[in-house]
Amino acid sequence: MTPMPPTAHEKILEVSDVSVTFGRVVAVDGVSLEIHRGEIVGLVGESGSGKSTLGRAILQIVRPARGSIRFGGTELVGIDPEALRRHRRDLQMIFQDPRGSLDPRMRVAAILAEPMVIHGTHDRAARRARVAEVLDIVGLRADVLDRFPHQLSGGQAQRVAIGRALVLDPVLLVADEPISSLDVSIQAQVINLLSDLRAELGIALLFIAHDLAVVRHIADRVAVMYLGGIVELADKRRLFEHPLHPYTRSLQSAVPVPDPKRERTRTRIILEGEIPTPDNPPPGCALSTRCPLRASLGGPDRCTAERPPLRQVHPGHAVACHFAEAADGPAPHR
């Protein structure tokens, strides 16, 4: 395969001010995010911060209470089911538990062919040819075709799930913690596979992960979520070397560094207290109850009075903190 040059700056996804609620729980609270063709965006945050809900909202598996999601120029919020079905070909999702996301009663051959059957895109011969192609792309041998999901290893099952998502040539893949349930020994292989999909097929990726270390090598840009909101968004390099939001600085300080000497002297920034629940978020800034920067500034009232908007502090670097400039300086470690 010849590498496809990514068409620079072509926005394929524009999420604007999206909120998703479940009763009193505001799982996603006014999120805006863009993804360009062939771009890999990492979405990082601790459990319950709303990452999966945002991913599901992009696919319209959950319907936002507010906001706009434009995909390839089409508004997806409120779209009628038939039009959504057509767009769903270009927009696919893979999940943390690959076996749970594959139909246990279907053999791999049928699982991979199913999207083509549902969308009526290929005749029988073309389906077989496409299944063989996809199998090759995801690095599986033809002998898996007759197996059921429970007869696959975790890594094989995730490759099948990725293959199923690829069959109809998507433009964007939302990968929700695709390696968390896999053995450490095969996590890197799946990361490399996803990275190759971008390089060889030009597929854009929203890669959801718990911690920064996972997205370190694969992402072009990284968005950090805390309690339903994006608190920092920047080019990966900038985010790792120059994190400005106190929450990002804490996450970044938890990433081990390869140099043993620097690893020994690494200082960790530990946030005190528990993450508040999204049915009762603190007023003003979501981090105000545990923010080390706020504490070091003597607890300014502005943090609890006013919600900090995500604002650009440097080209391509946005932070949701009233006092981001006060945190400026080198990363807790590099």
Instruction: Name the site residues for ligand ATP (rule: CB under 6 A).
Output: 22, 25, 27, 45, 47-53, 210, 278
* Nearest residue (CB) to Mg ion, 32 versus 52: 52
Asked if 215 interacts with ligand SF4 (CB under 6 A), we say no
Q: Which is nearer to Mg ion, 10 or 22 (CB)?
A: 22
The option from ligand ATP, Mg ion, ligand SF4, none interacting with 21 (CB < 5 to 8 A, set by class) reads none
Q: Which is nearer to Mg ion, 19 or 52 (CB)?
A: 52
Q: Which window, 33-41, 46-54, 97-105, 237-245, contacts Mg ion (CB under 5 A)?
A: 46-54
Q: Per CB under 5 A, does 101 bind Mg ion?
A: no
Give the H/E segment covering residue 319: strand 317-319
According to the binding rule CB under 5 A, does residue 49 interact with Mg ion?
Answer: no
Closest among 308, 310, 286, 288 to 297, alpha carbons compared: 288
Nearer to ligand ATP (CB atom), residue 57 or residue 327: 57
Binding part of the chain for ligand SF4, among 34-42, 67-75, 144-152, 317-325 by CB under 6 A, reads 317-325
Separation CA 79–CA 30 (nearest Å):
20
Q: Which is nearer to ligand ATP, 286 or 327 (CB)?
A: 286
Contact (CB, 8 A) for 62 and 56: yes
Positions 225 through 264 that interact with ligand SF4 (CB under 6 A):
246
Q: For residue 218, give both structure tokens.
A: 């694969």
Comparing CA positions, the residue from 321, 318, 324, 307 lying closest to residue 30 is: 307
Q: Is 288 in the site for Mg ion (CB under 5 A)?
A: no
Residues 6+ apart with CB under 8 A from 332: 243, 249, 252, 253, 266, 267, 268, 269
Nearest distance in Å: CB 324, Mg ion = 27
Q: What are phi and psi of 320, to 5 degrees?
A: -105, 75
Phi/psi-derived region of residue 120, left when phi > 0, alpha when psi is between -120 and 50, beta in every other case = left
Q: Return the number of other C-beta atoms located less than 10 Å from residue 162's C-beta.
A: 24
53 counts as binding Mg ion under rule CB under 5 A: no
Residue 49 interacting entry, from ligand ATP, ligand SF4, Mg ion, none, C-beta within 5 to 8 Å by type:
ligand ATP
Contact positions vs Mg ion (CB under 5 A): 52
